[in-house]
């Protein structure tokens, strides 16, 4: 674990974050529409106050937590991570957040739990994408427990020291930097500990295209496009593509989680 | 109809070359916005420009397919604009392809891989190829050389191009999105107006 966080510090120093403007005006948040600029345009009406998160399943302290209760005693730190979308574009984001492991320790994970499931809020009145049913809602995601407990995995509450903008998943979202962006579920209202692999939205919609793991992997293409390279946002009209890194550049930290697994099969 | 008559009279005074000028100006304006990252091009101009050129191309293909039914069912005569609409559509498809190849994918080898490996790119490419003979023969000399009947038969390829364009769009989006479905419905509807339904029915019994 110490080695893993040491690697983060080293990696962070080399990354140049995208502007706050870039990060908050180019988003996928299908609850607010399918266009990249739709979330920034439509997410203003998202109700984030009060915010309650249901914690249930195989935990010692289940219940409905306010955001303050859930984060009480934990200090948000800045983590500058690469963010790689499954659509083959990427950004660098300076998140503010706490390690998910610390939150899970607080709610008391029981020994039989193997997975963590997450759910996004559904507010049909203000969510145009929900009204249009572009995908099934609520959006759900999940991690294996060891992935959830990894020190790189965050519950983020801010960007650039500002409270999380609505279009980026206010007030609290997951950040798993070695997986495609859609795994980093936004605006979380439920966290469930379970012993079965939980459903994941894009995996339900199209299992051939989106696996449960969805680790960034330049060697396993999306059926409709290559994942070998990516376009870094912010380079303008003539930006050149960059090679995509195994586990999005976090191979040293996370590869051991998948030892012995065929990543072509468990994509 | 009076309105149609007035419209037809007004349209007779509009030269067809205006379509080319408007098309070129629009293409340059979109490129200019992307280059300077204005409006929707602010954060990520490459994909947005690629999308924009592709969408204008599809809209022009639809416009071209509207000409005949508008004349047949409403008496509105846009025939003299059809060639310009079609050729402009071709140039937008070409621009769409160039943005895809040069600015997006950025290597000939990868362009080829994409065309071969990705069915939605294959379909789009087929639509582009279908338009090439049409663009080349969109002049009076070709009509004379080929003969009217052959020329008209060849230009039925626009039907294929329209359908391929719609499928290309349907196939590339994630989730349930309404826009490509609308294009598909309109194009299929426009093609349906071309079917000679009477000849499909079994002969009526006496």
Model pLDDT, residue B86:
98
Res A10 pLDDT > 70: no
Q: CB–CB of B175 and A238 under 8 A?
A: no
Q: Which of B37, B117, B176 sits opposite A133 (nearest CB)?
A: B176
Contact B187, B163 (CB under 8 A): yes
Q: For the segment B86-109, what is each residue's pLDDT rounded down to a tens digit?
A: 999 999 999 999 999 999 999 999
Q: CB–CB of A26 and B49 under 8 A?
A: no
Neighbouring-strand partners of residue A110: none
Model pLDDT, residue B1:
54
Which residues 7-26 in chain A show a CB within 8 A of chain B?
Answer: 21-22, 25-26
Give a yes or no: residue B196 inside a domain. no
Contact A22, A233 (CB under 8 A): yes
Percent of chain A clearing pLDDT 90 (strictly above): 93
Q: CB–CB of A225 and B118 under 8 A?
A: yes
What is the extent of the structural domain holding B154?
2-188
pLDDT band at B205 (very low <50, low <70, confident <90, very high): low
Residue B114 to residue B96: CA distance in whole angstroms = 15
Give a yes or no: residue B199 inside a domain. no
Contact A179, A213 (CB under 8 A): yes
Contacts of B171 in chain A (CB under 8 A): 224
Contact B44, A26 (CB under 8 A): yes
pLDDT band at A2 (very low <50, low <70, confident <90, very high): very low
Spatial neighbors of A19 by CB under 8 A, at least 6 apart, are A234
pLDDT band at B136 (very low <50, low <70, confident <90, very high): very high
Q: CB–CB of B175 and A239 under 8 A?
A: no
Residue B56 to residue B42: CA distance in whole angstroms = 20
The values of phi and psi at residue A237, to 5°, are -70, -25
Model pLDDT, residue A144:
98
Model pLDDT, residue B196:
83
Task: Say yes or no: domain A2-258 is CATH 3.90.420.10.
Answer: yes
Q: For the segment A119-133, what is each residue's pLDDT rounded down to a tens digit?
A: 999 999 999 999 999
Q: ipTM score of the complex?
A: 0.81
Give a yes or no: residue B161 inside a domain. yes
Res A22 pLDDT > 60: yes
Residue A232 to residue A18: CA distance in whole angstroms = 9
3-state SS of chain A?
CHHHHHHHHHHHHHCCCCCHHHHHHCCCCHHHCCCCCHHHHHHHHCCCCCCEEEEEECECCCEEEEHHHHHCCCCCEEEEEEEECCCCEEEEEEEEEEEHHHHHHHHCECCCCCEEEEEECCCCCCCHHHHCCCCCCCCEEEEEHHHHCCCCCEEEEEECCEECCHHHCCCCEEECCCECHHHCCCCEEEEEEECCCCCCHHHHHCCCCCCCCCECCCCCCECCECCCEEEECCCCCCCCCEECCHHHHCHHHHHHHHCCCCCCCCC
Residue corresponding to tokens 């293909």: B61
Domain boundaries, chain A: 2-258
Q: Does A266 touch chain B (CB under 8 A)?
A: no
Res A11 pLDDT > 70: no
Give a yes or no: residue B202 inside a domain. no
Model pLDDT, residue A3:
44
Considering its fold, how many domains does chain B have in total?
Answer: 1
Residue A214 to residue A174: CA distance in whole angstroms = 15
Model pLDDT, residue B95:
98
A126: tokens are: 């203000």
Q: Does A108 touch chain B (CB under 8 A)?
A: no
Q: Which of B171, B172, B176 sits opposite A134 (nearest CB)?
A: B176
Q: CB–CB of B37 and A236 under 8 A?
A: yes
A49 versus A14: the higher-pLDDT residue is A49
Contacts of B115 in chain A (CB under 8 A): none
Average the pLDDT over B20-45 and give the result.
96
* Burial grade of A57 (CB within 10 A; 0-12, 13-18, 19 or more): buried
Q: How far from each other are the two terminal CA atoms of chain A, in whole angstroms?
A: 25
Q: For the segment A209-229, what is each residue's pLDDT rounded down to a tens digit?
A: 999 999 999 999 998 889 999
Q: Which of A30, A89, A135 sits opposite B44 (nearest CB)?
A: A89
B173: tokens are: 């989006």
Give a yes or no: residue B194 inside a domain. no
Q: Give the residue on A whose Cα is nearest the Cα of B51.
A: A35
Count the Cβ atoms, other than its own, within 10 Å of residue B85: 23
Gap from A138 CA to chain B (nearest CA, Å): 14
Distances from the Cα of A80 to the Cα of A161, A246, A262, B150, angstroms: 12, 18, 29, 64
Q: For the segment A158-184, what is each residue's pLDDT rounded down to a tens digit?
A: 999 999 999 999 999 999 999 999 999
H/E element, B68: helix B45-69
Q: Which of A25, A132, A224 sits opposite B42 (nearest CB)?
A: A25
Q: Which of B44, B103, B178 sits opposite A238 (nearest CB)?
A: B103
């Amino acid at each position: 674990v110490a080695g893993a966080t040491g690697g983060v510090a080293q990696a962070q120093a080399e990354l140049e974050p995208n502007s706050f403007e870039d990060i908050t005006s180019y988003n996928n948040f299908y609850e607010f529409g399918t266009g990249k600029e739709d979330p920034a345009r439509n997410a203003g009406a998202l109700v984030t106050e009060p915010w309650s998160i249901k914690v249930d399943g195989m935990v010692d302290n289940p219940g409905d937590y306010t955001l303050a209760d859930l984060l009480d005693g934990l200090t948000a730190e800045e983590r500058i991570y690469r963010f790689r979308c499954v659509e083959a574009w990427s950004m660098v984001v300076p998140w503010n957040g706490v390690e998910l492991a610390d939150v899970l320790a607080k709610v008391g994970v029981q020994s039989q739990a193997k997975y963590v499931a997450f759910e996004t809020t559904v507010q049909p009145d203000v969510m145009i994408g929900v009204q249009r049913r572009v995908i099934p809602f609520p959006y759900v995601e999940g991690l294996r427990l060891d992935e959830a407990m990894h020190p790189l995995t965050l519950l983020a509450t801010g960007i650039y020291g500002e409270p999380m903008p609505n279009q980026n998943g206010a007030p609290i979202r997951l950040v798993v930097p070695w997986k495609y962006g859609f795994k980093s579920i936004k605006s979380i209202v439920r966290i469930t500990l379970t012993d079965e692999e939980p459903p994941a939205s894009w995996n339900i919609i199209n299992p051939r295209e989106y696996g449960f793991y969805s680790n960034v992997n330049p060697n396993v293409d999306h059926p409709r496009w290559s994942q070998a390279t990516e376009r870094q946002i912010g380079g303008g009209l003539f930006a050149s593509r960059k090679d995509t890194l195994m586990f999005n550049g976090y191979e040293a930290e996370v590869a051991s989680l998948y030892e012995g697994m065929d990543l072509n099969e468990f994509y | 109809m009076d309105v149609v008559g007035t419209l037809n009279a007004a349209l007779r005074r509009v030269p067809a070359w205006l379509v080319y000028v408007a098309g070129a100006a629009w293409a340059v304006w979109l490129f200019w916005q992307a280059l300077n990252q204005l409006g929707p091009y602010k954060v990520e101009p490459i994909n947005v420009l690629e999308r924009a050129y592709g969408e204008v191309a599809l809209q022009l293909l639809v416009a071209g397919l509207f000409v005949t039914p508008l004349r047949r069912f409403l008496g509105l005569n846009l025939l003299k604009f059809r060639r310009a609409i079609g050729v402009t559509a071709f140039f937008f498809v070409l621009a769409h392809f160039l943005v895809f190849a040069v600015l997006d994918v950025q290597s000939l080898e990868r362009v080829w891989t994409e065309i071969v490996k990705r069915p939605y790119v294959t379909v789009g490419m087929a639509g582009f190829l279908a338009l090439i003979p049409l663009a080349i023969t969109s002049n009076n000399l070709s009509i004379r050389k080929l003969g009217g009947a052959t020329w008209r038969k060849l230009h039925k390829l626009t039907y294929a191009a329209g359908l391929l364009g719609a499928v290309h769009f349907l196939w590339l989006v994630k989730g349930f999105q309404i826009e490509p479905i609308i294009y598909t419905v309109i194009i299929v509807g426009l093609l349906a107006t071309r079917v000679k339904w009477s000849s499909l029915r079994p002969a009526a019994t006496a």
